[in-house]
């Protein structure tokens, strides 16, 4: 049963509220809380000068700011604290506040709790953004007023009063956002599960437990969509409270979506032929099937077909940049895990010149070497993990008695110039790092945009 947002308005009015993290989703949240007559203090490691106009605007509206390296030293005395997803709930400052009776929550948690519309949540290790965007487009094509949020789109909690019960809301949810959730979306999608974010999570078990929260609190009316081909994901069906619907690239499923004889099916009805899909790779066929399962109760096969045959993808995900001297360059900066990179390079019809490496999320690179080496013509490595990846590949190459050219680049620019130097007409160069971007860039988008900028300047 959805909660009435008026309850929240009454609850928050006059309360002393701390907001930890002044980022994309929390900036509109802070303004919204002020509008709802809460007394707000905002915390961030960033300095006043770095926040600039944002800090000035907050102070003008009566928001107290606690900034700098010691920003988490004192979270005492608040009625409510909204935390940013990247800060763990077992952070000592948050634990101390919780023990003192503070209600600790997040923007997304409160949004799901009070959102009047049907919510579709998408999580998993790979394919979240593409799947979220396909679901959004299918619902929109069917004629629903549809909102998209979570990790993509705009922060939605500040707009909650504009959302009606007839609307649809699609949310991309990370393990960080889900970790503290005690509320689930109406439709929950788990695209797949493989090691990821082990720099933040204690272990794989904690990572999977976080993902489970997307369906754990559903009622019997809820729906969970699972990947039949991924053992870890399929196992989750045993804990489902609502209906389970699966998708598969290898198995015919009567009550779900599947791929057979080059065609995509939902509930045994053909949606389209694989050749009609604009997106490259079987992983994207999987993303389409996932979206069909999630929207099947709401839309026609015609709407699914229209989106499947016209959708050209999301930036930084197998995005074609340009052709230079007969060499095609692709930006797949979103690939921040080995499994995502494997899917990406397998989508091409021949071995590629792969630019990989970056921030170390403590994920093993053995699968990238073992499953990807046949799809790589030349491997160019950069960033913090370059030696780690090189070692894994060299060990495999020695074992298999085969050779593969591996080039180490000093910096990101050099990696791209080296790719141009070694490429020949007909080659494909793809940035698909298998790592996060934080050693060199603020996020994967900045990394992808830099790649595109350099490629566009190549002579």
347 near 281, Cβ under 8 Å? yes
Pairing relation of β-strands 263-266 and 256-260? Answer: antiparallel
Portions of the chain given CATH number 3.40.50.720 = 5-105
Q: Tell me the pLDDT tens digit for each residue of 90-137.
A: 889 999 999 999 999 999 999 999 999 999 999 998 888 899 999 999
Q: What is the largest CA-CA distance in the chain?
A: 70
Phi and psi at 151, nearest 5°, equal -75, -15
CATH superfamily of 319-457: Mur ligase, C-terminal domain (3.90.190.20)
Query: Whole-angstrom Cα distance, residue 448 to residue 245?
Result: 34
Helices (H), 88-190: 92-99, 107-114, 128-141, 175-178
Query: Whole-angstrom Cα distance, residue 332 to residue 320?
Result: 9
Domain 5-105 CATH (choose: 3.40.50.720, 3.10.420.10, 3.40.50.300, 3.30.420.40):
3.40.50.720
State the CB neighbour count (10 A cutoff) for residue 442.
9
Q: From residue 196, give the alpha-carbon distance in Å to each of 203, 236, 332, 372, 436.
A: 9, 18, 17, 18, 10
362 near 199, Cβ under 8 Å? yes
Portions of the chain given CATH number 3.90.190.20 = 319-457
Q: Tell me the pLDDT tens digit for each residue of 70-90.
A: 999 889 899 999 998 878 888
Portions of the chain given CATH number 3.40.1190.10 = 109-310
Q: Answer yes or no: pTM beyond 0.75.
A: yes
Determine the CATH number of domain 109-310. Answer: 3.40.1190.10
pLDDT for 202 beyond 70: no
- Give residue 449's pLDDT: 96
Q: Coil, strand or helix: which one is 443?
A: coil
């Amino acid at each position: 049963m959805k909660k009435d947002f008026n309850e929240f308005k009454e609850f928050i009015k006059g309360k002393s509220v701390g907001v930890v993290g002044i980022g994309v989703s929390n900036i509109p949240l802070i303004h919204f809380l002020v509008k709802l007559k809460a007394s707000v203090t905002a915390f961030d490691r960033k300095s006043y000068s770095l926040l600039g106009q944002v800090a000035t605007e907050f102070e003008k509206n009566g928001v107290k700011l606690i900034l700098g390296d010691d920003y988490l030293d004192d979270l005492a005395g608040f009625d409510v604290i909204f935390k940013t997803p990247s800060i763990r709930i077992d952070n000592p400052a948050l634990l101390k506040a919780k023990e003192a009776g503070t209600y600790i929550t997040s923007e997304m948690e409160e949004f799901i709790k009070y959102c009047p519309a049907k919510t579709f949540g998408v999580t998993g290790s790979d394919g979240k953004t593409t799947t979220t965007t396909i679901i959004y487009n299918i619902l929109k094509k069917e004629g629903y007023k549809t909102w998209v949020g979570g990790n993509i789109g705009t922060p939605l909690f500040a707009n909650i009063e504009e959302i009606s019960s007839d609307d649809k809301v699609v949310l991309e949810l990370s393990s960080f956002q889900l970790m503290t959730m005690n509320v689930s979306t109406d439709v929950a999608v788990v695209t797949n599960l493989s090691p990821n974010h082990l720099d933040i999570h204690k272990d794989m078990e904690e990572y999977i437990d976080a993902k489970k929260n997307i369906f754990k609190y559903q009622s019997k009316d809820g729906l969970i969509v699972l990947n039949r081909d991924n053992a870890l994901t399929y196992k989750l069906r045993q804990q489902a409270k609502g209906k389970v619907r699966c998708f598969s690239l290898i198995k015919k499923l009567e009550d779900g979506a599947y791929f057979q004889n080059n065609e995509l099916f939902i509930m045994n009805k053909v949606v389209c032929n694989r050749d009609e899909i604009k997106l490259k790779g079987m992983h994207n066929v999987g993303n389409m099937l996932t979206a069909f399962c999630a929207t099947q109760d709401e839309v026609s096969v015609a709407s699914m077909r229209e989106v499947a045959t016209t959708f050209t993808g999301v930036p930084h995900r197998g995005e074609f940049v340009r052709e230079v001297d007969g060499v095609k360059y692709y930006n797949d900066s979103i690939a921040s895990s080995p499994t995502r990179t494997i899917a990406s390079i397998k989508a091409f019809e021949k071995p590629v010149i792969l630019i990989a490496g970056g921030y170390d999320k403590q994920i093993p690179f053995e699968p990238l070497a073992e499953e990807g080496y046949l799809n790589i013509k030349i491997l160019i490595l950069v960033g913090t993990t370059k030696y780690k990846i090189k070692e894994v590949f060299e060990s495999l190459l020695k074992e298999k008695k085969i050779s593969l050219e591996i080039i180490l680049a000093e910096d990101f620019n050099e990696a791209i110039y080296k790719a141009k130097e070694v490429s020949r007409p007909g080659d494909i160069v793809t940035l698909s790092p298998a790592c996060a971007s934080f050693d060199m860039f603020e996020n994967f988008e900045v990394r992808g945009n830099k790649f595109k900028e350099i490629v566009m300047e190549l002579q």
